[in-house]
Amino acid sequence: MENSRIDLPIGVTLDRFIKSNENEYIGAVGAFSQLLRDIALAAKVVNRELNKAGLIDIMGNAGIYNSGGDEQKKLDLLANTRFIRALSKGGEVCGIISEENESFIDLENNGKYIVAIDPLDGSSNIDVNVSVGTIFSIYKRKSDFGKPLSEFDFLQKGRDQKAAGYILFGPSSMLVYTTGNGVNGFTYEPSLGEFILSNINITCSQNGSIYSINEGLSKSIKDYKIINYLDFCKESGYTARYIGSLVADFHRNLLKGGVYLYPPTNKFPNGKLRLMFEANALAFVIEQAGGKARNGEMDILDIQPTTIHQTTPLYIGSSDMVDKIEMPSL
C-alpha cells in the first residue's frame, strides 16, 4: 500500500483536507468532495442530537421494527432522517440504502453515487450514554443516467467502494474514512463546529492482544475454529474488550491492535452483522490500514451481495490475528 499521500499537518479542517486531496477522486472531483461534506454535515447534526439525548424525549423505542426485526429506537430514526436528508439535497447521490429502510431509495436524479449507510449502529447503547456510530459506504452508480435504479446499482462488492468510513460518537466524536489511499481520522471540535485532522495515515498493527466478542454467545457458537481461537486468546493472556457498539470496538482495535469477532450463532446462523451496512465499510478501512476482514472463508470485500440486508460472519482487525482464526489447529 502506497502511503506517502498526506502532507497536511494535524489541525487542518476536514474541508481543507478534502479540497487538498480532490485530485485523488478520479472523475467527479467536485461532486465527490461535496458528498463527503454532506456526510460530515449530517454527522454534526446527529452529534448535536445525541448530546441532548438524556435531556429531551428522544431515547427509547419508537415502537417500529426494521427489516432485521430489531425494534427501532427514536434516535435510529432521527439519525436515518438526518443522513437521508443531507444526502438527498445536493444531487451527487442518486440512490441510498439504509439499514433502517427495507428497500432502496431512488432519488430520481442524475447523481453519480450510491450510498449505503447504517445511520446509528449500536443504538442499544444510546439509552445508557455509551458510544455509538454511523457507518457509510460510497459506490458509483452502475445503471445508465436517466434510467430508474435497480438492485443491480446497490448489490456491489465491497471491493467496488469508492470511499467508506464511520463516525464514532464518543467522549469526543471522530470521523474516520478512506478513499482507497490510506485512512485518516478527524476529531470534532464542537466550539468551532469543525472536524479537525487528528490521526494521519492510520495503520493497524500486524498483531495485537485484544479480542472483542460477545462471549455470552459462546455456547451457541458451533464453529470449532472460533472455539479454539477463544481458548488460544485466554491461554495467551489476551485482554477481552467488548462494548457492543461495532464502531467503538472496531476503532479501539484499529488504533491499539486487536480483533473483533461476530461468528455464526444459533440465533444468527450467518452472523448478525450486515454485509452492506457494517462489514464492507469497515473492511475497506481496515485493509487500507494494513489489517484484514474475513468471513471465515474469504475476504469480506470479495463477497458478492445477493440481497441488500444480508448478514455475514465478521472477523476483522490486525492481520495476524484474523489469519490465526482460520487456522485449523492452533
Catalytic residues: 70, 76, 99-100, 118, 120-121, 278
Tell me the window of 42-50, 85-93, 114-122, 305-313 that interacts with ligand AHM (CB under 6 A).
114-122
CB nearer Mg ion, residue 134 or residue 161: 134
Tell me the window of 111-119, 144-152, 193-201, 279-287 that interacts with Mg ion (CB under 5 A).
111-119
Assess contact for 118 and 274: CB atoms under 8 A.
yes
Q: For residue 60, state whether it binds ligand AHM (rule: CB under 6 A).
A: no
Assess contact for 319 and 206: CB atoms under 8 A.
yes
Q: How far is the CB of 174 from Mg ion (least distance, A)?
A: 18
How many residues lie near ligand AHM (CB under 6 A)?
Answer: 12
Among residues 121, 165, 168, 230, the one that binds ligand AHM under rule CB under 6 A: 121
Q: For residue 271, state whether it binds ligand AHM (rule: CB under 6 A).
A: no
Whose cell is 445511520? That residue is 119
CB nearer ligand AHM, residue 168 or residue 197: 168
CB nearer Mg ion, residue 94 or residue 174: 174
Q: For residue 244, state whether it binds ligand AHM (rule: CB under 6 A).
A: yes
Amino acid present at 237? G
Among residues 131, 245, 280, 312, the one that binds ligand AHM under rule CB under 6 A: 245
- Cα 129–chain centre separation: 20
Among residues 118, 153, 249, 287, the one that binds Mg ion under rule CB under 5 A: 118
Among residues 92, 121, 249, 287, the one that binds Mg ion under rule CB under 5 A: 121
Please tell me the distance from the alpha carbon of residue 131 to that of residue 39, in angstroms, as a whole number. Answer: 19
Q: How far is the CB of 10 from ligand AHM (least distance, A)?
A: 29
Assess contact for 315 and 169: CB atoms under 8 A.
no
**Strands of the chain, DSSP E:** 61-65, 71-73, 93-98, 105-106, 113-121, 132-140, 163-169, 174-178, 183-189, 194-199, 210-212, 239-240, 259-262, 273-274, 292-294, 311-312, 314-317
CB nearer Mg ion, residue 66 or residue 199: 66
Candidates 205, 210, 207; CA nearest to 240 is: 210
- Per-residue cell: 201: 495515515
Report phi then psi at 281, rounded to 5: -60, -45
Among residues 46, 126, 202, 246, the one that binds ligand AHM under rule CB under 6 A: 246
Instruction: Please count the CA atoms within 13 angstroms of the CA of 292 that sit on its side-chain side.
Output: 20
Q: For residue 122, state whether it binds ligand AHM (rule: CB under 6 A).
A: yes
Q: For residue 123, state whether it binds ligand AHM (rule: CB under 6 A).
A: yes
Tell me the window of 30-38, 120-128, 138-146, 177-185 that interacts with ligand AHM (CB under 6 A).
120-128
What does 38 interact with, of ligand AHM, Mg ion, none (CB < 5 to 8 A by kind)?
none
Q: Which residues pair with 64 in a beta bridge?
A: 72
Q: What's the DSSP call for residue 181?
A: S
The residues binding ligand AHM (CB under 6 A) are: 70, 99, 118, 121-123, 214, 244-246, 249, 272
